[in-house]
Amino acid sequence: MIISVASGKGGTGKTTVATNLALSVPNAQILDCDVEEPNSHIFIKPEIKSKEYVFIPVPKVNEAKCDGCGKCQEVCAYNAIAVVNKKVLIFPELCHGCGSCSYFCPQHAIKEVNKEIGFVETGKKRDLLFTQGKLNIGEAMSPPVIKAVKKHINSAQVNIIDAPPGTSCPVITAIKKSDFCILVTEPTPFGLNDLILAVEVLRKLSISFGVVINRSDLGDRKTDDYCRKENIAVLMKIPFKKEIASAYSKGIPAVEQFPEYKQRFKDLFNLINEK
Who contacts 246 (Cβ-Cβ below 8 Å, separation ≥6)? Answer: none
CA distance 208 to 231: 12
105 lies in the site for another protein, by CB under 8 A: no
CA distance 75 to 59: 13
104 lies in the site for another protein, by CB under 8 A: no
Smallest separation, CB 84 to another protein (Å): 4
Residues 27, 62, 79, 246: which binds another protein (CB under 8 A)?
A: 79
Beta bridge partners of 180: 3
89 lies in the site for another protein, by CB under 8 A: yes
CA distance 32 to 170: 12
83 lies in the site for another protein, by CB under 8 A: yes
DSSP element (H, E) containing 135: strand 128-135
CA distance 74 to 78: 10
- In the bound state with another protein, the residue whose beta carbon lies nearer, of 16 and 100, is 100
Residues 44, 81, 148, 163: which binds another protein (CB under 8 A)?
A: 81
| Residues recorded for the chain | 275
Residues 47, 85, 204, 231: which binds another protein (CB under 8 A)?
A: 85
Smallest separation, CB 76 to another protein (Å): 8
Site for another protein, rule CB under 8 A: 73, 78-85, 87, 89, 91, 94, 140
